[in-house]
Amino acid sequence: MKLQGTVALITGSSSGIGAGVAKTLASKGVNVGLAARRIDELQDLLTQIQQTGGSGLVIEMDVTDKVSVQKGLESLIVKFGKIDILVNNAGSMYLSDIEALKTDEWEKMVDVNIKGVLNVAGAVLPYLMKQNSGHIINVSSIAGRKLFKGLSVYCATKHAVSAFSDILRMEITPKYKVKVTSIQPGAVATELQQHTTDEKYIASMKEDRKSMIYLSPEDIAASMVYALEAPDHVDVSELFILPTDQAW
């Protein structure tokens, strides 16, 4: 896909991977829909993008709310006339042992990581199928293929994203020419790890930071650009991206 002039919706773009992807795609000439709940952060990001010659739109969106998703998507299409790319990035991660029974945190991860991905994909797909083109990138995780203690529910949600992505590719790509990519990052320097409330795992993550250089959001964005710019006959269906020193 030639990125210049295309339109992308990026969920969870108020910080971390989403913000890095938005800036990278905007630098490639993509009109970026910046979707998240934190409007002030999105506005700051849009200002940065515009100062470097990019174009975008702030979209207040709660991916767990279908009405919010549809309203936000429609505002993007009114602004730019189409959508070509979906980066399904919004996510939530809480570490704890199962026996701690942090069920509220379990539900938040299921709502954002699974239902959110499905809500946004379900809203965007009719447009992409109608135009017989486009690209959906779902951000899974290394936890979408491997299992880790303390990440039981997070692993379950990201395994769901990986499974949905692969079957989406099987069913949609041959018929509608809509490519699907699952990105599975390892350790990335984002706010995601700050969600955890369990003291044991907070300490563990601090130790991990001492043992390796974490990936940056821009590293993940570069992998997405690689997938998006692949020739028409190439579908980069899955990418693992890990810090060189990450042993797990």
Other CB atoms within 10 A of residue 179 CB: 24
Helices (H) and strands (E) in the chain, counts: 8, 7
Dihedral angle sign, alpha carbons of residues 27, 5, 22, 225:
negative
Catalytic residue among 127, 154, 176, 214: 154
**Minimal CA–CA distance to 105: which of 174, 29, 36, 195?**
195
CB 162 within 8 A of CB 114: no
Q: How far apart are CA 1 and CA 166, in angstroms?
A: 20
**Separation CA 69–CA 67 (nearest Å):** 5
7: nearest Cα among 58, 57, 80: 80
Tell me how far apart the alpha carbons of residues 92 and 101 are, in angstroms, rounded to a whole number.
17
Active site residue 176: no
Residue 47 CA to residue 206 CA, distance in Å, equals 32
Single out the residue of 192, 1, 214 nearest to residue 95, CA to CA: 192
Are the beta carbons of 133 and 178 closer than 8 angstroms? yes
Q: How far apart are CA 52 and CA 115, in angstroms?
A: 34
Catalogue the active-site residues: 154
